Amino acid sequence: MSATIIDGKAVAADLRSRLAGEVESIAGTGLTPGLAVVLVGEDAASQVYVRNKAKQTREIGMASFEHRLSADTPETDLLALVARLNADDAVDGILVQLPLPDHIDAQKVIAAIDPDKDVDGFHPVNAGRLATGLPGLVPCTPLGCVMLAKSAQADLSGMEAVVVGRSNIVGKPVAQLLLAENCTVTIAHSRSRDLPAICRRADLLVAAVGRPEMVRGDWIRPGAIVIDVGINRVPNPDAGGGKTRLVGDVAFAEARAVAGAITPVPGGVGPMTIACLLQNTLTAARQRRG
């Protein structure tokens, strides 16, 4: 048996076209949702990602504001920019690209963002809202993961879900969302004993580890839904000339032979993350401006 490939690119394009329609329908009221993205430093991968976000933001009719700061920007300058964006009525969403340079305290910066403009959903207030079931802004990658899982199986309730990874930006919030979908959720991490056995219990497996192809085919329960969050750049000797390719946290070819449905990398969770960011920006605009 070979798994159904969950087409994240297609699901994301579909979501963006729906959002474009909604942006157009509220344009009559004079409201244009705006997203501000802040990039500190010249990390090549982040640059590509920020450019894609800006392009897709404009494509669906929203305003995009980009702020590029040099790698040696003092923390106080970044906090001052965040304060300006908090006060700017044209800005509905603020995203500060992570990771930040070592001399800047990321938690402090995240906490400085107005929770109602926190389209990443990383502010402690939004994390608390998610954990207690209050409405709020939900982290984009976890939201994308759950949408993709539901595109394979509409009702996740009662499923045995295993999340590998417990970061604040992926593992923990995806576990909260799956709990809200009535899954039985296990969160595994680097100290978990016998990770392969834990993964084999999963009807729904989410891998958010940051280790290229760590999850092997024989860790997967036959027929399971596999959501691969990993974005790992590895050398690609086939292409020659020091080129690289993207792989996930799951050994795709092996997993595909066992799973019922699986997301590819690229073309899985990545595109959904950006689409969900745009959705959060629209949500923030609606809530903030009535």
Ligand X SMILES: NC(=O)C1=CN([C@@H]2O[C@H](COP(=O)(O)OP(=O)(O)OC[C@H]3O[C@@H](n4cnc5c(N)ncnc54)[C@H](OP(=O)(O)O)[C@@H]3O)[C@@H](O)[C@H]2O)C=CC1
Report the interface residues with ligand GUE, using CB under 6 A: 48-49, 95-98, 120, 140-141, 231, 246, 265-267, 270-271, 273-274
Nearest Cα neighbor of 120 from 135, 140, 134 is 140
Q: What is the DSSP letter of 6?
A: P
Under rule CB under 6 A, which residues in 250-289 are in contact with ligand X? Answer: 269-270, 273
* Residue 53 is a catalytic residue: yes
Helix (H, G, I), strand (E, B) or coil at 282: helix
* Residue 97 is a catalytic residue: yes
242 is in an annotated binding site: no
Among 60, 85, 109, 195, binds ligand X (CB under 6 A): 195
Site string for ligand X, 149-188 (x = CB under 6 A): ---------------xxxx-xxx-----------------
In the complex with ligand X, the residue whose CB is nearer, 140 or 157, is: 140
Residue 165 site contact among ligand GUE, ligand X, none (CB < 5 to 8 Å, cut-off depends on kind): ligand X
* Residue 120 is a catalytic residue: yes
Q: First vs last Cα of the chain: how many Å apart?
A: 50
165 is in an annotated binding site: yes
Contact 172, 187 (CB under 8 A): yes
Give the whole-angstrom CA distance, residue 229 versus residue 249.
7
Q: What is the CB neighbour count within 10 angstroms for residue 210? A: 14
Q: Which two tokens stand for residue 174?
A: 């995806």
Contact 270, 249 (CB under 8 A): no
Task: Note whether 200 binds ligand X by CB under 6 A.
Answer: no
Give the whole-angstrom CA distance, residue 15 versus residue 59.
13
Task: Note whether 50 binds ligand X by CB under 6 A.
Answer: no
Give the whole-angstrom CA distance, residue 180 versus residue 177.
5
Residue 97 site contact among ligand GUE, ligand X, none (CB < 5 to 8 Å, cut-off depends on kind): ligand GUE
Feature table: binding site for NADP(+) = 165-167, 231
Residues that bind ligand X (CB under 6 A): 141, 164-167, 169-171, 189-191, 195, 208-211, 229-232, 249, 269-270, 273
Residues carrying an active site annotation: 53, 97, 120
